[in-house]
Chain A
Amino acid sequence: MDDALHPYVLRLGDNALVLSQRLGEWCGKGPALEEDMALTNVALDLLGQARMWLSYAAELQGDGADEDSLAYHRNAPEFRNLLLVEQPNGSYADTLVRQFFFDAWHALALRELGRSSESRVAGIAQKAAKEVAYHLRRSSDLIVRLGDGTARSHEMMQAAVDNLWRFTGEMFETDAIDAAARAAGAGFDATSLRREWLAYVGEVLETGTLRMPPPEAWMQKGGKQGVHSEHLSRLLAEMQVLQRTHPGAKW
């Protein structure tokens, strides 16, 4: 087992997997056909990325684990995703703001990870970064259109921004796992990433006539260490029920 990289790669895989599952809940229920297709396309990209990360994590783990056992046979405290991605879909405004906050971080994080000296991490990140560039373009555009839309859409978007803001701090928290990954040639400087994220997010929100909450506001953390909200348990219950009931089922 490679202790330096395994937990780090697991975090990247879990972020993609959990958000993909959340977006999948919109399938067939999007507010418009184009939106439904866009959400499910983004979900599909994230699922593909999750498979690449989790396959690598399973190899590093080396005890016969594979992408499926990691996805279907772990309990909530073993998941290492950010709290942001497990937040419920809520209204369409909540879904979009969650996506926008994550996309902006994801695009920056993947750009940095693509420069890793650890070649497998760099390869996956370079591949994923191309997809996430389109995700970010879409979510940024919608933040502006709905923020600077009707009074009602503006109000809903501002409420979503204010409500989800407390989950953004965790993206820039670093612990021993981040440090070990950096020492192993993968990872990034979270402080400079945060500066870039705040600048980008601030500019998009402002263009959409939305108010950015204070960066120094109190932030909720713990997802990266396995301390999750009950929302994750419910999401996993739905995602894992088939494999838990019929282990190894295939179609």
Chain B
Amino acid sequence: MHTATTDVWRWLSEIPDPEVPAVSIVDLGIVRDVRHGADARLVVTVTPTYSGCPATEVIANSIREALQDHGVADARIEMQLSPAWTTDWLTPEAKEKLRRYGIAPPAGLAPGERAIDASRILRYRPADDGVTCPRCGSARTELISGFGSTPCKALYRCVACREPFDYFKPH
């Protein structure tokens, strides 16, 4: 008997992201598709956030376990690279969950494809991104490092409340 894909989506939406447990793998847009293959087996398509993300294999295992817990033992997990994952897929609810967790959500859309332009890159000021402090809401924040505890985050500091915080970079 077919498992309803709506049920599967609901189960998957309860799996926390291993690195940012405040949001689920569905909130983050990592699960791209749930369907039944030609052989009637359930197929879950996932996409990696970053190519070197060590969480990708943990996520595949969590999906397998969650499905087994619901009696689906023979699901197939497929990895899909294209279209490349982007923070633009984060839902407004996911961004709010990040903020409550203490991580500033990506401000604005991911930078699109364009020529590399020295004046633009060198003129870049982190303040232009409009990153606000997830604790006090102040817009007076400064970049400490473009790379934080994981490649998807940058390290910021709030000038108003002096707290350092993680920023989920537009990607």
Contacts and interface: CB of A to CB of B under 8 A. Distances in A.
B11 interface: no
Contact of A138 (B51, B147, B155): B147
Contact of A123 (B82, B86, B115, B144): B82
Nearest to B117: A200
Given A122-B82, A130-B171, A196-B115, A34 B121 contact: no
Interface residues of A, number: 43
Interface in B121-149: 121-122, 124, 144-149
A137 B51 contact: no
Contact of A114 (B54, B113, B124): B113
A108 B116 contact: yes
Contacts of A138: 146-147
B51 A127 contact: yes
A46 interface: yes
A52 B51 contact: yes
B84 A44 contact: no
A130 B82 contact: no
B61 interface: no
Contacts of B110: 130
Contact of B53 (A34, A48, A124): A48
Interface core residue of A34, A41, A52, A140 (most chain B CB under 10 Å) = A41
Contacts of B38: none
A130 B55 CA distance: 18
Interface in A120-160: 122-124, 126-131, 133-134, 136-138, 140-141, 144
A17 to B, nearest CB: 12
B159 to A, nearest CB: 18
A127 B82 contact: yes
Interface string A36-69: 0110011011111101100000000000000000
9 contacts: A35-B145, A48-B52, A49-B51, A52-B81, A108-B116, A126-B83, A130-B84, A131-B51, A207-B118
